[in-house]
């Protein structure tokens, strides 16, 4: 395939280039990038005037439910959903049934992940066998089969001793442990943030300290034994203060936040009438916490934006709030949600785009420089910053046809995803 993407405003992973650029893809690689148009080009031409051409969006945290829970989502439907949301690469969480906790399970996800019709899928492996937090899984053997990070996500690594051992074991490999930060003794039967909403509703609250203590645990262990530690879906202002200090100390710590924690707060849960589609772990917290997350995007404390896309069957979410499952589906509107939120707050688009492109690659050790160099794989996402659409989950490629964004009008949408020699997805010209 040969394709000329002309007159684009190019974001290179760090900043927008001056003026407009022309990029040519041939044989799955970038063959030309410059201010001058290519000479003698023969192939498909797309005029991107007014649109942003970026390295492909990567999602560090996606629940695709395969193996074992394919009625909720599977690798194929998740791959198509990711491509439609602007993502070229998804990291599949291992809390499946059975969990991805051994080399053969990693091999299955890795092999299938290379053959999907939409976004490429990379496997994460469990830290512990069966995610029980008792015995270390075969981390390096899973890495040989393609595991790109290790996590017991859905829960923290239960034992501090095991988390310490995993960090020590992986020290020097460049492979990260992704930690779901939670003190389970403080979570209890929690349903919502412990604050205004728990006081008003009477629902059991989850205090911010539930997350903060988990962050403190991880940082102390990292300081002691080394390794790379990534905290996922942080939600509390105090958590970011700890991350900020750990980075200043020089520790190898990174973190991500989710589109839903950047968009919604406990006030939205109340305004929805306690709609189960807003139920998530960690819970949607205070407005102050939400705005602190945006502050972390602006000052670089937050490295990446991970969707934590959690697809459930409608029967598992369309329930009274106390009975609904935790988790929010968002792959197909996540990038638009954060781009819209950034524009409303005056946050530079470069900050969001870097968190969607360069940062995830750096965390996975997949390089963060020269992403658009001639000769590099064509891994590209195009965004139309002026495109306005209403979120309609009924039209999603995901099997999860529900979301708290349903009916919300967003401005700034991915319109093209391209990987290698394939156009994974292209938006309709109609808006």
Active site residues per annotation:
308
CB 116 within 8 A of CB 144: no
CB 331 within 8 A of CB 85: yes
Number of H helices, E strands in the chain: 15, 18
Token output for 90: 């998804």
Token output for 417: 């995803």
Which candidate, 1, 10, 32, 52, places its Cα nearest to that of 387? 52
Which candidate, 69, 28, 58, 51, places its Cα nearest to that of 418? 28
Beta-carbon count within 10 A of 174 CB: 12
Q: Is 246 helix (H, G, I), strand (E, B) or coil?
A: helix
Largest CA distance in the chain: 69
The rounded distance, in Å, linking the Cα atoms of 180 and 126 is 12
Token output for 170: 């992986």
Pairing of strands 29-34, 304-305: unpaired
Beta-carbon count within 10 A of 411 CB: 15
Helix axes 287-299, 334-345, angle to 10 degrees: 90
- End-to-end C-alpha distance for the chain, whole angstroms: 28
Rounded to the nearest 5°, which phi and psi values hold at 227? Answer: 100, -175
Pairing of strands 176-180, 192-193: unpaired
The rounded distance, in Å, linking the Cα atoms of 44 and 300 is 38
Query: Nearest 5°: CA angle at 79, between 78 and 84?
Result: 95
Which candidate, 98, 8, 119, 110, places its Cα nearest to that of 53? 8
The rounded distance, in Å, linking the Cα atoms of 94 and 64 is 9
The rounded distance, in Å, linking the Cα atoms of 19 and 202 is 55
């Amino acid at each position: 395939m040969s394709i000329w993407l002309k007159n684009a405003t190019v974001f290179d992973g760090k900043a927008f280039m001056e003026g407009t650029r022309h990029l040519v893809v041939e044989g799955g690689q970038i063959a030309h990038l410059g201010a001058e148009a290519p000479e003698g080009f023969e192939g498909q031409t797309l005029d991107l005037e007014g649109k942003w051409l970026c390295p492909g969006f990567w999602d560090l945290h996606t629940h695709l439910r395969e193996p074992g829970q394919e009625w909720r989502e599977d690798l194929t439907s998740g791959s198509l959903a990711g491509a439609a949301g602007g993502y070229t690469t998804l990291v599949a969480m291992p809390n499946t049934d059975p969990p991805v906790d051994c080399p053969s399970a990693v091999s299955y996800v890795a092999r299938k992940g290379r053959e999907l019709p939409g976004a490429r899928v990379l496997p994460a492996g469990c830290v512990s066998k069966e995610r029980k937090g008792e015995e270390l899984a075969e981390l390096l053997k899973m890495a040989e089969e393609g595991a790109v990070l290790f996590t017991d996500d859905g829960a923290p690594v239960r034992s501090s001793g095991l988390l310490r051992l995993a960090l020590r074991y992986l020290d020097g490999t460049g492979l990260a442990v992704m930690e779901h930060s939670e003190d389970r003794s403080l979570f209890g039967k929690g349903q919502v943030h412990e604050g205004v909403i728990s006081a008003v509703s009477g629902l059991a609250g989850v205090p911010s300290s539930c997350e903060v203590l988990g962050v403190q645990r991880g940082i102390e262990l990292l300081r002691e034994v080394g390794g790379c530690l990534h905290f996922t879906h942080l939600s509390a202002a105090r958590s970011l203060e700890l991350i900020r200090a750990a980075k200043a100390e020089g520790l190898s710590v990174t973190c991500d936040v989710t589109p839903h924690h950047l968009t919604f707060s406990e006030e939205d849960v109340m305004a929805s009438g306690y709609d189960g589609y807003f139920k998530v772990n960690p819970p949607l917290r205070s407005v102050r916490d939400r705005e602190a997350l945006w502050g972390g995007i602006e000052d670089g404390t937050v490295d990446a934006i991970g969707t934590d896309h959690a697809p459930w069957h409608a029967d598992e979410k369309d329930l009274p709030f106390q009975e609904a499952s935790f988790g929010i589906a968002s792959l197909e509107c996540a990038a638009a949600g954060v781009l819209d939120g950034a524009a409303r707050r005056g946050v530079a688009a470069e900050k969001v785009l870097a968190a969607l492109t360069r940062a995830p690659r750096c965390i996975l050790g997949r390089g963060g420089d020269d992403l658009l160099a001639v000769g590099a794989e064509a891994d590209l996402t195009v965004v139309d910053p002026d495109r306005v659409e209403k979120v309609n989950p009924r039209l999603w490629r995901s099997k999860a046809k529900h979301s708290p964004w349903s009916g919300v009008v967003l401005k700034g949408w991915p319109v093209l995803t391209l990987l290698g020699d394939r156009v994974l997805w292209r938006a309709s010209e109609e808006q």
